[in-house]
Amino acid sequence: MSVSRVVLATLVLCAAASSEANEAPGDVSEITDCVKANQPKLSTEQEVSFRVVDRLGSARVSSAKIYWQKTKDQTHALVRFTAPSDLRGSALLLIEKGDRSDMFTYLPELRKVRRISDRTVAGSMFGTDFSYEDFERLQGLTEDGQTRRLPDGEVEGRATFVIEGRPARGEESAYERIVSYVDQERCVPLRTELYEQGDRLRKVMLAPFEKLSQHDSLWVPRLVQVRDVLDETRTELIVEEVEFDKKLPRKLFSERELVAGAR
24, 53, 128, 132, 256 from 42: Cα distances, Å: 33, 34, 28, 23, 23
Structural domain of 132: 4-260
* pTM of the complete model: 0.84
The pLDDT value given to residue 98:
75
Question: What pLDDT is attached to residue 13?
Answer: 36
In angstroms, the CA 257 to CA 136 distance is 19
Assign residue 116 the CATH number of its domain.
2.50.20.10
What is the predicted pLDDT for the residue at 1? 39
pLDDT at 139: 63
**pLDDT score of 26:** 61
263 residues of the chain, pLDDT tens digit each: 343 343 333 333 333 333 333 344 567 888 888 988 998 999 999 999 999 999 999 999 999 999 999 988 888 999 999 999 999 999 999 998 877 788 999 999 888 899 988 767 788 999 999 998 888 777 654 555 688 999 999 999 999 999 999 887 777 789 999 999 999 999 999 999 999 999 999 999 999 999 999 998 899 999 999 999 999 999 999 999 999 999 999 899 998 888 887 66
- Return the pLDDT at 172: 78
Structure confidence at residue 14 (pLDDT): 37
Q: How far apart are CA 22 and CA 60, in angstroms?
A: 45
Tell me how many domains the chain contains. Answer: 1
Length of the chain: 263
